[in-house]
Structure 1
């Protein structure tokens, strides 16, 4: 379907009023107060907040192209067509995954203004109180706690009306949301028969699957209590599932709200900001070796054969290249584990052993049933005339199926503590999910193609609090070579146990009366797995990633002896260098991470401004 959907008209310099450069030699100067590496989710927030001070000069360097004119970027429903293997992504591939039957999997990241906020699936979830309180604990800074971060979460967002302008009372709690932030978030403006069945299930099985008004209140799970439900749900004693409406980064006009559209486009006319695109950072350059090493210079080039050029920062270089790009740039610059650096042919300059380690991601599994309906996504994907009609509806009114990303409902679940006998519970606490459930009105899998016939329901299960840890390392000293990425998905037995529990939960969910006459049968690979061993084998054969890498430059307390950045996100053992992106998360939030990245970037902006 990408040939139908991925319609792009790239215009690298067409944002109105902007100073957007495509060649480093076009820059009016080579020294700025701040140089931001990466115009992604976090980088555009930092650029916006720093340039509020007219005395600061800021350069943003982005390897990718402009987002302007890319239709699939604007249309929420077309988001999945933006990756992998497109012009707006880093088209990485992992090493073979031992936890996934030795499969190597695509690992795209955003290579475009807005970064991964331009190509993601737009789900807006902050995470739990316990997620943030654990960040505060490991960093030694209460500023990262839920109560202290909530104002920054609200600062980044505005809750807006749905595209169909329906009354959302009972679907969201406006009191916990922002009213004047850049990113627009909304409840889906289109409902499906799956939504009706999901929410009928919350009435029919209220003990197993109660309704949650707002997943972003800080308590998406609630307090678990013993529930004794007979053999069907006996394995879920001490658990509670909450299901609610998905919130998405989509505005009232049915357009994606990314860091490029919500932040960067609004500030390009500022005289103290320059943005350089289609230019890659090749390394950071050490500017002082006396005392604590300083890294205030940035080497850039447009490709492997072009001349390299230096830009410098009077105050700080701020690395916002994401959980893959950030450790790669640090290692190319001689910052990391000396043994890892030497093996790639890089001279070690600063020892920080945790660089590129502790990579954490959410394993993703699509569980499908054949259904007795022709009102599923297959009816769209197999009908190019209908695609054109829906696109025209979106283009003229901003409404209809193309105004929503595709998953209208979302659920979170905790497993009983007996699941972790002999192991550590990887979640942050009782308000953090062990796994997520996303019901989708169609066939969803990043592993196998959609069948040519039949109509489907998918219950996506995602391990929300994984224990597995992977790495990002250099393949060589060539900055234009892809790094070696090993997310180590499902390598920890705890993650496999969580995924098996998730599969059992969604099988129970569709036994509610709401699904009578709708479910025909599970697809064979799913239906044939019945024992725990068979479910484990099924999960290993069909699990992939939902593209949420974090943790490769993790935050820790000063003097802890571990981590890459301190509680103010300054890189340890150096000066002049700070990191603001998902790589600094000490643990992955039990959430789709974009909302947390925005909140981190908002607080980081205040920390930077306070320092200068």
Structure 2
């Protein structure tokens, strides 16, 4: 039996083996734990694993979403694009976006064990040294600088071999020894050599980089993904599944945190030790008590939503809905930042793209059977194998509007992903005929900022989500530059006789005015939101948490997820969330004298 099939069978059987996943609050044997973790996502499962290492500590994880079992869209890397919009997604929709010609767009967030690490497109970037050093400056805490953070990053993941022989395409010495499996592409495409040859040929801003996880997030390179043995490696599979046998760890799914409750104070500071939970808007409410801390890991939407419902946030906004204001924290839900994404489509002279696989159900099933039987083929990878990060030209007109917002010279402004087929995004549909190249371009140092706000006191009503994409001149002009950079890149010799022509409306986007129109009509989001509970120095008036991730002006609450990011990273954020969570574990253990560290069981 081959590795992927064996893994999948074990993966499915595990649902019957582990009895510590509960599906209703009344199934719990107790309602008091040392730690309550709200959200079994990317960060929450790290905390669940590491805190339950001490057998004297009891841990409950409360997850609104469903189990990650029995879902091929989660397990098979290529099929990850199909997970958003299904039962494992919160299925949020944004408010109409002024910068997108008033279009509302889908806003994917994982509604499943593993959170967004179970439905993302798997890209693994740890961020530049500059990024972490900038976080250190913003928080006035040297422990967030890269020299202090590196040991935590090394605890998150380890390199594993891909499905083909690609030795020498990463620098193993810069990678770690943690549970998440990371590899480069296992199924080479016709684009890979073209992309890398072009970067060598053009050089300069387009230069080749052997490994983007060495502290400099600039250059064109092989994509690294959270994949092992041709299957997704998520926080659920890497951190949670291996420790579900522990007697001191309970996991409750299909249950929402509805309110944080305070019934006492310490020197005037409200103490939060009780979490109210429920399974439906009109269903029974249950109170669970945390002897030590409630750890909020609900993500960029879920965490501020719960805080606002609990009276923690902008006083005027909360009271306008009839919620008593308990802690006036104006930054809760504010400063939402995300990466806008633009698909650039080209017709190509090839019959090797994946387009026909998506059109032909028989061919699709054959490709899936190949993955099941041998761990080979198209489905062992996400749709892109190569990636590039660039800084804007020094004379970019975008800088007429503001200085470069990137963290430093080792950090990018823009990103490029090369897809060997038509990557249908937004309202676009797969063309009935033809073969395509998609170059996805993104702005990874955006200056637009949005918000998460309440629209109802009902915790089962989604909050209002407004990422405010492309609402600054800098962001729009930077996106225009990405289109021009794509034109330069695919005009190089390696693409001769491969590119036929731009496809669709891109063919008419030949002036800056036309490019801006194309950007506003076609951009979506990479689904990399951060910042809605950003951390700041302890005694400043801005921010939601201090640099130890404790919610300001409260006791008993700590936030561990991407909402605390003080600045949006110029890369894909999942590895940063894991890293933040690993550091949070030490902060929590030190604060409460939690003891021994046991080796992780794989």
The two structures have a TM-score, normalised by structure 2, of 0.94
What is the CA distance between 1:108 and its match in structure 2? 2.0
In structure 2, the residue matched to 1:264 is 240
1:30 CA drift (Å):
0.3
Residue matched to 1:442: 421
Q: CA deviation at 1:146?
A: 1.4
Matching residue of 2:348: 371
Partner of 2:84: 83
How many positions carry a matched residue from both structures? Answer: 580
8 Å CA contact retained: 1:39, 1:113: yes
Is the Cα contact below 8 Å between 1:127 and 1:216 reproduced in 2? yes
- Asked whether the 8 Å contact 2:307–2:332 carries over to 1, the reply is yes
1:168 to partner: Cα distance: 1.8
CA distance in 1, matches of 2:350, 2:395: 39
Structure 2 residue 178 is matched with structure 1 residue 181: yes
CA–CA separation in structure 1 for the residues paired with 2:337 and 2:543: 14
1:93 matched to 2:72? The reply is no
**Which sits farther off after the overlay, 365-374 or 338-347?**
338-347
Deviation at residue 208 of structure 1 after TM alignment: 4.7
RMSD, matched Cα: 1.6
Partner of 1:610: 590
Which residue pairs with 1:129 in the alignment?
A: 129
Matched residue SS, 1:503: helix
The reply on whether 1:192 has 2:189 as its aligned counterpart is yes
Aligned to 2:167: 168
- Decide which moves more: 188-197 or 411-420: 411-420
Shift of 1:105: 0.5
The structure 1 segments of at least 4 consecutive aligned residues displaced by more than 3 Å after TM superposition are 10-13
Structure 1 residues 305 and 11: CA distance shift in structure 2, 3 A: farther
Q: Structure 1: 5+ residue runs without aligned partners?
A: 1-6, 222-241
CA shift in 2, pair 1:142/1:310, >3 Å: same
Contact 1:552 1:584 (C-alpha < 8 Å) held by counterparts: yes
In structure 1, the residue matched to 2:208 is 211
Determine if contact 1:40/1:320 at 8 Å carries over to the other structure.
Answer: yes
- Find the aligned partners of 1:343 and 1:417 in 2 and give their Cα distance: 47
Asked whether the 8 Å contact 1:41–1:597 carries over to 2, the reply is: yes
Q: 2:31: which partner in 1?
A: 30
Distance 2:13 2:28 in 1: 15
- Alignment of 1:20 with 2:18, yes or no, is no
Alignment of 1:363-442 (within 5 A): 363-419=340-396, 420-442=399-421
Deviations 1:248-302 (A, max 9, x none): 0000x20100000000000100111011011011111113145210111000001
Q: 522, 528, 536: which one pairs with 1:542?
A: 522
Contact 1:317 1:576 in 2 (8 A): yes
Match of 1:287 among 256, 263, 269: 263
Q: Is 1:352 matched up with 2:329?
A: yes
1:483 to 463, 472, 477: 463
Q: Which shows bigger deviation, 290-299 or 555-564?
A: 290-299
SS at match of 2:130: helix
Of the three residues 435, 441, 456, the one matched with 1:461 is 441
Structure 1 residues 15 and 602 mapped into 2: Cα distance closer, same or farther (>3 Å)? Answer: farther
SS in 2 for 1:408: strand
Deviations 1:398-429 (A, max 9, x none): 22111101110000110134331241321111
